[in-house]
Amino acid sequence: MKRSNGARPLKRSSALTRVHWGWLTLFIAPNLILFSIFILAPIVIAFGLSLYSWDLISPPRFVGFANFLAIPRDPRAVNSIVKTIYLIAIGVVPTVVVSFLLAVLINTRFPGIRIVRTIYLLPLVISFVASAVLWRYIFDPRFGPVNMVLSWFGIDGPTWLQSTAWSMPAVAIVIVWLRFPLGMLLYLAALQSINPSLLEAAQLDGANAWQRVRHIIWPNVRSVTFLVAIVTLRGVLFDSFDVIQVMTGGGPIGSTDILIKYIYDVAFAQLKLGYASALATTLLLIVAALALLLTPPRATGGRA
């Protein structure tokens, strides 16, 4: 007669589970602590401060949601939100497209490929302020190389940073130039994971370059597009402050006055910490909403 020991595997499995969760907690704890201190805590503090009126001099005064209700009645706040959405539209999509196309272009082997890849990565090692100063000269309507090249084709270039119509596209060009190297690296890593035999088989079957990109390369890197879009979105919303501050200062006539620039002016020039926190919370909600829109839907599977 065999002795039943059915309880032992259960106890052993429970012990392994505790050990597993213990190591998991140990490795995740530093990241969670840093996230809580530098991300979660500031968000909570900003939301709490948005419920008060405070100028750093007098004591904070509780006003409830009055700061949020004042945003729709503030013409500059409404203009900054509109300009922010406009910059996202002309900054995020081109960055994703350029990153993908350049990654496909340089994902080949030819003499000097390392030098070419280094040149493409130069925007990552140049500070935003230095880049803004450089591009401010490039877009100069009288001596800048952009209008000089356009004049060779008989085109009278715009005034760029002095024009209400062209200042934001000029800023978007700089943002794309600054952000595409990181997206290109992410796409390039995804391209390296594609089995070369798939491309070789498609080429032997008569597929041209466009067909290989559309039916083989793009489906294999589609999941990376969400990550590239989110990273670019964060860069457009937050890193663009340095570029706009140096190139246009929010002008001309508020044409590049995005929300992060207005938050800076309200907080540090007007000393309205509560209202600035309400604007920052609004910016956070915009980022969250756009992130949800960019999130790809999960594939639902079922049995036939």
Could you tell me the residue ranges of all domains in the chain?
Answer: 10-49, 74-294
**Which strand (E) or helix (H) includes residue 174?**
helix 167-192
- Per-residue model confidence (pLDDT) at position 172: 92
What span, in angstroms and rounded, lies between the C-alpha atoms of 301 and 35? 34
Place of tokens 């530098």: 38
Q: Give 12-31 pLDDT, tens digit per residue.
A: 566 557 767 777 788 888 88
Identity of residue 135 = W
In three-state secondary structure terms, 15 is helix
- In this prediction, what percent of the chain has a pLDDT beyond 90? 34
pTM for the model: 0.82
Fold of 74-294: MetI-like fold (1.10.3720)
**Closest among 209, 186, 190, 185 to 199, alpha carbons compared:** 209
Task: Give the Cβ contact number of residue 265 at 10 Å.
Answer: 15
Check residues 4 and 112 and name the one with the higher pLDDT.
112
Q: Give 63-76 pLDDT, tens digit per residue.
A: 999 999 999 999 99
Residue 296 banded pLDDT, cuts 50, 70, 90: low
Q: How far is CA 304 from CA 237, 297, 301, in A?
A: 45, 21, 9
**Closest among 86, 96, 90 to 286, alpha carbons compared:** 86
Place of tokens 């062209």: 166
**Which strand (E) or helix (H) includes residue 52?**
strand 52-53
Residue 302 banded pLDDT, cuts 50, 70, 90: very low
- Per-residue model confidence (pLDDT) at position 76: 92
- Per-residue model confidence (pLDDT) at position 11: 57
- In this prediction, what percent of the chain has a pLDDT beyond 70? 91
- Per-residue model confidence (pLDDT) at position 236: 84
Least confident of 27-36, 43-52, 71-80: 27-36
Question: In the structure encoding, which two tokens stand for residue 29, read together?
Answer: 């704890």
The mean predicted confidence, pLDDT, of the chain is: 85
- Per-residue model confidence (pLDDT) at position 1: 46
What span, in angstroms and rounded, lies between the C-alpha atoms of 178 and 189? 19
Q: Looking at residues 236-261, what average pLDDT do you find? A: 89
- Per-residue model confidence (pLDDT) at position 5: 52
- Cα–chain-centroid distance for residue 246? 20
What span, in angstroms and rounded, lies between the C-alpha atoms of 159 and 143? 11
Q: How far is CA 132 from CA 139, 173, 177, 229, 247, in A?
A: 10, 11, 11, 22, 6
Residue 201 banded pLDDT, cuts 50, 70, 90: confident
Would the pLDDT of 303 be above 50?
A: no
Phi first, then psi: what are they for 194, rounded to 5°? -75, 135
Would the pLDDT of 199 be above 90?
A: no
Check: CB of residue 76 under 8 Å from CB of residue 254: yes
Check residues 220 and 113 and name the one with the higher pLDDT.
220
| DSSP structural state of residue 267 | I
**Which strand (E) or helix (H) includes residue 61?**
strand 61-62
- Per-residue model confidence (pLDDT) at position 105: 84
What span, in angstroms and rounded, lies between the C-alpha atoms of 139 and 146? 6
Q: Give 115-151 pLDDT, tens digit per residue.
A: 777 777 788 888 888 989 999 999 998 888 999 998 9
Contacts of 9 (CB under 8 A, 6+ apart): none
Residue 284: left (phi > 0), alpha (psi -120 to 50), or beta? alpha
